[in-house]
Amino acid sequence: MKKEKIPIEELTVLVERMRSAVDGSPSGSGSSDRLKKCSVDEVLAILRSACSVRAEDELDPRPKRPSEYFDIALGALGKSGNSPSEEEGMLRLIFEMGKALSLLGEWDDAISYFEKVSSGAKICGDRKMEADTLREIGRINRRRERWADALGKYSKSKRIYEEIGDRAGVASASNCIGAVYFEQGELDSAKEHYEHALKVALELGNSKLVAQLSNNLAAIANVRGEHMKAVSLYEKALPEFSEIEDMRGKAEVYHNIGMSYADMGEWVKAGEFYEKSLQISRKAGDLELISNTYLNKAELCMKLYEWSAARLYCTKALEAFGSLGDRLGMGEAYKLLGLVADSQGEWELSTSYFENAIRIDEECGCLLNLAETCMDYGLACARRDENEQGRELLKRSLTIFQRLKASANEQKVRSYLAEVKEEATASRRE
């Protein structure tokens, strides 16, 4: 009997149903932070109802990772006559599955899917799909702090977008390149790429990209101590994300507004925005954003002297970042754990946490994180009357903040250095 191909319109909705079943997002309960994994039978039921595809019920061994569920789907779809090398809809489906795996932290499996798409795109001559795939692989490399690899993929995707006249793609790739520079502390280069991308996005009326870029430019303003400017830019992004129903983008903006208020010492407002972000990201099953919000809630608890809660949030964040393979996030969690331990007089444990954080920041080449960790560790040393080590760490922090042109943080560290010097002088007089 001749196999019937699945209509493209059915393929486009299949991945969303698959991802929802795998990450548990349809429940919307927000009662659990773990990504619920669906059963094999649920996957097969979705395939049958969405596409009338038959597949074997008995599978041994039973799949354990999200990618294995998607492999079942692709195998079943292949039996229906759809060919990844010929069917544009199938390529898009595999591409979206790769994005879903990336969101779930299954980065190696995601790259495997993207490479399948890249091969199919070259066979089909679909250069846009090829560029899209390079951009997504670049994003995974960025999350793994493989900066050179990320820039290489992003730059190659940008060139392809330019060659095919895809201005939206050019803007998207420029945004991604800016993100790499931002995470390396090269704020001027990041701003240059963000502003170029924003200009194109505004000309195209691309609401989603405009919102993302407003969010990113706000982050630069926040690092430079321009907190109210940052909040204003974040607030401009909110209606754009709401209009296009981008809940992840909205959650990220709420998270970032919370960070700005925290930097201004407005802890109650910061907590309100962190909670808004956490509620949305839990419903979306976004483990990366959940992890970052845990860190910020930990910092908030520390400011309110709620040390047990702070330690709990730090530990949750460290576990989540570890499952994602996000070493930068792990470094941040170690830094906050160092502060918590220091506040409780657990100095040996505190030192271990801080040194882990510095090691990770150095290995990842993240200057902003390194400067902040050195500052916090230096102050901890000063509180223990280890003034010489404290001064050296604060001086290192100051040098990095000067390079980043983070003037507010630079001024703060100068003030700390003066205080440490004064205390050391007073101690010698005694």
List the structure tokens of 256.
């970032």
Residue 383 has, within 13 A of its CA and on its CB side, a CA count of 16
**Span 259-272, average pLDDT:** 90
147 domain residue, yes or no: yes
- CA atoms of 331 and 345, how far apart (whole Å): 21
Three-state secondary structure of 74-128: HHHHHHCCCCCCCCHHHHHHHHHHHHHHHHCCCHHHHHHHHHHHHHHHHHHCCHH
Neighbours of 186 (CB within 10 A): 17
Clarify whether residues 135 and 106 are in a common domain.
no
- Residues near 148 by beta carbon (within 8 Å), at least 6 away in sequence: none
Domain end position, chosen among 93, 124, 155: 124
Clarify whether residues 40 and 151 are in a common domain.
no
Supply the pLDDT for residue 319. Answer: 92
CATH classification at residue 201: 1.25.40.10
- Residues near 427 by beta carbon (within 8 Å), at least 6 away in sequence: 385, 387
**Span 111-116, average pLDDT:** 88
Kindly provide the residue ranges of all beta strands, DSSP E only, lying in 360-428, ordered along the sequence. Answer: none
Q: Identify whether the C-beta of residue 118 lies closer than 8 Å to the C-beta of residue 134.
A: yes
Clarify whether residues 17 and 118 are in a common domain.
yes
- Residue-range definition of the domain harbouring residue 99: 1-25+32-124
357-377 pLDDT, tens per residue? 999 999 888 888 999 999 999
Q: Which residue has the higher pLDDT, 78 or 197?
A: 197
188-242 pLDDT, tens per residue? 999 999 999 999 999 999 988 988 899 899 999 988 889 999 999 888 888 888 8
309 domain residue, yes or no: no
Picking from 36-50, 62-76, 182-196, 376-390, which range would have the lowest pLDDT averaged per residue?
36-50
Supply the pLDDT for residue 406. Answer: 80
Supply the pLDDT for residue 389. Answer: 93
Specify the residue for token string 């979306």.
284
Supply the pLDDT for residue 2. Answer: 38
**Span 255-279, average pLDDT:** 90
The dihedral region occupied by 210, where left means phi > 0, alpha psi between -120 and 50, and beta the remainder, is alpha
Supply the pLDDT for residue 403. Answer: 85
Supply the pLDDT for residue 95. Answer: 82
User: Percentage of the chain surpassing pLDDT 70?
Assistant: 76
Burial (Cβ within 10 Å: 0-12, 13-18, ≥19) of residue 385? exposed
328 domain residue, yes or no: no
370-426 pLDDT, tens per residue? 999 999 999 999 998 898 899 999 999 999 988 887 877 888 899 999 888 766 555
Q: Which residue has the higher pLDDT, 248 or 19?
A: 248
List the structure tokens of 352.
């271990």
Domain end position, chosen among 178, 205, 232: 205
Going by pLDDT thresholds of 50, 70 and 90, the confidence category of residue 63 is: very low
Supply the pLDDT for residue 405. Answer: 79
Residue 34 has pLDDT above 50, yes or no: no
Supply the pLDDT for residue 54. Answer: 46
Residue 42 has pLDDT above 70, yes or no: no
Residue 85 has pLDDT above 50, yes or no: no
300-331 pLDDT, tens per residue? 999 889 999 999 999 999 998 988 888 889 99
125-178 pLDDT, tens per residue? 889 999 999 999 999 999 887 899 999 999 999 999 999 999 999 999 999 999
Supply the pLDDT for residue 26. Answer: 37
Clarify whether residues 21 and 118 are in a common domain.
yes
Supply the pLDDT for residue 241. Answer: 82
80 domain residue, yes or no: yes
Q: How many structural domains does the chain have?
A: 2
Clarify whether residues 87 and 48 are in a common domain.
yes
| Distances in whole angstroms, Cα of residue 410 to Cα of each of 65, 421, 430 | 46, 17, 31
Domain end position, chosen among 205, 222, 254: 205
211 domain residue, yes or no: no
Clarify whether residues 117 and 132 are in a common domain.
no
**Span 86-99, average pLDDT:** 69
Average pLDDT value for the chain: 80
148 domain residue, yes or no: yes
Residue type for position 221:
A
319 domain residue, yes or no: no
Clarify whether residues 179 and 108 are in a common domain.
no
Supply the pLDDT for residue 424. Answer: 54
Q: Which residue has the higher pLDDT, 90 or 207?
A: 207
**Span 271-290, average pLDDT:** 86
**Span 232-257, average pLDDT:** 85
119 domain residue, yes or no: yes
Q: Identify whether the C-beta of residue 336 lies closer than 8 Å to the C-beta of residue 310.
A: yes
Clarify whether residues 109 and 156 are in a common domain.
no
